[in-house]
Copies of this chain bind each other. A is one copy, B any other.
Amino acid sequence: MVHADSSTFAEGMSKKEVYAQVLEQAKALFEGQRNWICNFSNTAALLWHAYHSLPLPSSAVNWAGFYFVDPTNASQLILGPFQGQVACQVIAFGKGVCGAAAKTGVTQLVEDVEKFPGHIACDGASRSEIVVPILKGGKVVAIIDIDCAELNGFGPEDQTALEELAKLLAQSCDF
């Protein structure tokens, strides 16, 4: 199979089926490859094209990617591979939705980012967000960050699938 086909999602699939394809393709792509930059880059592509194959609100996802713990400052996140528009380079632990996930190690599912204390607007179009920490040996090493231009873009089904993806990334990559 040509690599690009991994991120081609058939029309009319359910969200459950789309996430199943993301996880299956991610597992296949990570076989024999443990470089986290390579694997995060391909995963951002899988996620972006997955959301854009679904109906609204998922198709209104306007950013899908990663931040990782800054190797020069362990109390901040730094921008990793993503798809979407240019984004903030660094985010302090505890600041905004990404910072909260990094500090607590707990998924942040935010229906309306404007109601989230200290929300960082890298893109004024974003309305809702989900941030899932990637933990290795009990420590946050990176986060998955997905933004949506509609309110309530994400729910428990997204959380379950992205937490499974975060576990897979932690197991499959060397950081």
The 0/1 profile, CB within 8 Å of B marked 1, for residues 52-85 of chain A is 0000000000000100101110000011111111
How far apart sit A65 and B45, CA to CA, in the bound complex (Å)? 12
- Whether A168 sits at the interface, judged by CB under 8 Å, is no
Q: Which of A12-20, A110-118, A119-127 lines the interface with chain B?
A: A119-127
The 0/1 profile, CB within 8 Å of B marked 1, for residues 78-117 of chain A is 1111111111111000000000000000000000000000
How far apart sit A83 and B35, CA to CA, in the bound complex (Å)? 18
Residues of A participating in the B interface, judged by any CB pair closer than 8 Å: 2-8, 25, 29, 33, 35, 37-38, 41-42, 45-46, 49, 65, 68, 70-72, 78-90, 121-125
- Of B25, B49, B87, which one neighbours A3 at CB under 8 angstroms? B87
Quick check: B85 and A121 within 8 Å, CB to CB?
Answer: no
How far apart sit A68 and B36, CA to CA, in the bound complex (Å)? 13
Which residues from B are CB-within-8-Å of A46?
A: 86
Quick check: B122 and A85 within 8 Å, CB to CB?
Answer: no
- Of B35, B82, B123, which one neighbours A41 at CB under 8 angstroms? B82
Q: Can you give 13 A-B contacts (C-beta < 8 A)?
A: A2-B122, A2-B123, A3-B85, A3-B123, A4-B85, A8-B85, A25-B86, A33-B90, A35-B72, A38-B89, A42-B89, A45-B86, A80-B81
